Amino acid sequence: MNNHNYTRQSTGKLMVFIFEGDKVKPIMGAKVTITGHNQNVTQQSNESGQTNTVDLPAGEPYFEYTVNVSASGYNDVKFEGVQVVPNITGIQEIQMTPSIRRDNFRSTEEHKVPPHKLTQPEAIKPDIDPIAIPDPQPQPLPLPQTRPEGPLILIPEYIIVHCGAPQEPAPKYKVKFTDYITKVACAETYPGWHREALIANILCITSYTLNKIFTQAYTGFDVTCLIQFDLKYNHVQTTYKQIIEIVDTIFNLYIKHPDPVKNQPLLAEYRAHYTRQKPCKLGQFKSQELAKQGYNHQDILNYFYDLCYGPLKIASAAGVIFQGRSSTPPETILKEGSSGSDVRKIQVMLNEISKNYSKIPKINADGKFGSITTKAVKTFQQIFNIHQDGNVDFRTWYKMSAIYYSILEYR
Amino acid sequence: MYYNTHFNPYFNNVIAHRLVNPDQIVNLEGFYVDIELDNGQKICNAKLDYVSPEPDETQAIYGDVTYTIFSAGQPYTYQTNTRKITRISQSGVPGAVCSDGMRSCKF
């Protein structure tokens, strides 16, 4: 009998989500092959475009796998460098392109997920003093169709990401605001970090991004995807459930500017290795250390920033924008037993979404939140990685609205 | 380069008068654009929020366009129609409608 020296191998989980458009049309029956680290796993996507969650060997900080996808009517896709992190569920979103050729002659699109920022040397970035950034000045405008009611921070539906130096021509991506924050957070933090450290880092990312949008730092786009100028954005980044959950919960929060006269969010910068010093920036590895010592996200932010600005305040955006208009979420959490026009609105949205996501049951849009509506909400939450409680809170409402408006736009 | 419908390659074509129809600008939805209207007004660095998907020219909503201009960080939303647009281009690129560096409205 052989004496094997068994060592316990860490594993991570991976789910592949395959769709057309901006998650508007899930692709069912796609063949997905995951290879690497002596693994060769084949899966098929379900009616929601998702594979089963697969256990894969993983090591610190992550193992890289190759994912190949083929689906009838679409170009084949090959993703290299898909990141699987120990004890974490990763989601690799793959957007497919309809093929104009017959299946036998389809071309293959190849993509590589770049290495995680924290495994790379620190980028050299110019120091910017957030205090010196002026608020943009008002300009004379004709009477608009809609007029804001004061200096408000609104969450845009999309942001435009310029993948090049600001002054140089480069491709641009139109990215949902929450997807942008999620992918930056997944590219610039480790998903296994303490929740409070992740929240502190994500608040910096959101605040930084909203500052760039509010101050109109660039013409023709909102941010660059280059770390030398802004935050690192990879369109093909592997995402992680822990980070998606936090971003979906706090994407409308930002750090207020310490100057009460200014309306812009704080340009909250961070570096991988940084200590409490001037100019103030958050130190990412130190933030994890502090969280493990019991600091909450507010304590962590103050640890780094109060040296320059005093205690920081977290504020909530005044609203969210869909199709260029400010949208108001329901005033209360909608749940079984609720009724009224807000319930009817979410029923209409769910019915529209269910035309593409057939797992979501059809509802009679009668404005009454009954058991079928609860089932539809839970199914929606399951597909989009939201805790399945069947209630429509701000987070579920926002995700539902985002998918609904994307579907309308895609038609 | 990763393809998606929300990806715009470097787009510096200026679509000229009478060539602007909704089909041509629907891919600019969500992006920053420069617009010249038939009264000569130039709108620079506006976010193109919405282009009506109505394909029938006889319908009232055909060509309806909504765009947002940011002033002092605040969004101001306007509506127009492709019939009133003489030129439109992506903002901030060489040859754009407002390529003289202006980033706001000209009246």
How do residues B65-98 score in pLDDT, each as one tens digit? 999 988 877 888 899 999 999 999 999 888 889 9
Of A166, A161, A200, nearest to A286 by C-alpha is A200
Residues A300 and A338 occupy one common structural domain: no
Q: What is the mean pLDDT of residues A293-313?
A: 97
- In this predicted model, what pLDDT tens digit does every residue of A14-73 receive, in sequence order? 999 999 988 999 999 999 999 999 999 999 999 999 999 999 999 999 999 999 999 999
Return residues 110-129 of A near B (CB < 8 Å). 111
CA distance A371 to A325: 32
What total number of domains does chain A contain? 3
Residues A168 and A314 occupy one common structural domain: yes
**CATH code assigned at A22:** 2.60.40.1120
Residues A275 and A348 occupy one common structural domain: no
Q: What rounded mean pLDDT belongs to chain A? A: 93
**3-class secondary-structure state, position A350:** helix
Output the pLDDT for position B46.
93
Confidence of residue A316 (pLDDT cuts 50, 70, 90): very high
CATH for the stretch B22-90:
2.30.30.100
Q: How many residues appear in chain B?
A: 107
Residues A286 and A172 occupy one common structural domain: yes
Residues A344 and A390 occupy one common structural domain: yes
Looking at the predicted structure, is the pLDDT value of residue A86 above 50?
yes
Is A134 in the B-facing interface, judged by CB distances under 8 Å?
no
Query: pTM here?
Result: 0.91
Residues in chain B closer than 8 A to A139 (CB atoms): 71-72, 104-105
**CATH code assigned at A346:** 1.10.101.10
Report the chain A residue with the minimal C-alpha distance to residue B54: A411
Q: What is the mean pLDDT of residues A312-338?
A: 91
- Domain membership of residue A368 (yes or no) is yes
- Domain membership of residue A122 (yes or no) is no
B95: its two tokens: 């040859």
Residues A161 and A19 occupy one common structural domain: no
Domain ranges of chain B: 22-90
Looking at the predicted structure, is the pLDDT value of residue A4 above 80?
no
- Domain membership of residue A166 (yes or no) is yes
Q: Do A140 and B107 touch (CB under 8 A)?
A: yes
Which residues on adjacent β-strands are paired with residue B75? B70
Highest mean pLDDT among A34-38, A105-109, A315-319, B54-58: A34-38
Q: Do B76 and A95 touch (CB under 8 A)?
A: no
Domain boundary among A58, A88, A112: A112
A332's CB contacts (< 8 A; 6+ apart) are A338
Output the pLDDT for position B101.
46
Residues A77 and A224 occupy one common structural domain: no
Residues A232 and A276 occupy one common structural domain: yes
Output the pLDDT for position A7.
57
- Domain membership of residue A248 (yes or no) is yes
Residues A357 and A229 occupy one common structural domain: no
Output the pLDDT for position B16.
52
Q: What percent of chain A has pLDDT over 70?
A: 95
Output the pLDDT for position B105.
41
A387 Ramachandran zone, left/alpha/beta (phi>0; psi -120 to 50): beta
Predicted-complex ipTM score: 0.77
Q: Do A324 and B5 touch (CB under 8 A)?
A: no
The one-character DSSP state at A256 is B
**Amino acid letter, A319:** G
Least trusted range by pLDDT, from A211-215, A356-360, B17-21 = B17-21
Domain boundary among A80, A95, A112: A112
Instruction: Look up tokens 């910017």; give the residue.
Output: A128
- Domain membership of residue A353 (yes or no) is yes
Report the chain A residue with the minimal C-alpha distance to residue B7: A173
Output the pLDDT for position B4.
45
- In this predicted model, what pLDDT tens digit does every residue of A151-190 receive, in sequence order? 688 999 999 999 999 988 899 999 999 999 999 999 999 9
Q: Is beta strand A63-70 parallel, antiparallel or unpaired with respect to B85-90?
A: unpaired
CA distance A58 to B9: 36
Q: Is beta strand A89-95 parallel, antiparallel or unpaired with respect to A11-20?
A: parallel
The one-character DSSP state at A310 is S
**Residues of the domain holding A21:** 11-112
Residues in chain A closer than 8 A to B71 (CB atoms): 136, 138-139, 141
Output the pLDDT for position A194.
98
Report the chain B residue with the minimal C-alpha distance to residue A19: B4
CA distance A144 to A157: 20
Cα–Cα–Cα angle for A8, A14, A16, rounded to 5 degrees: 160
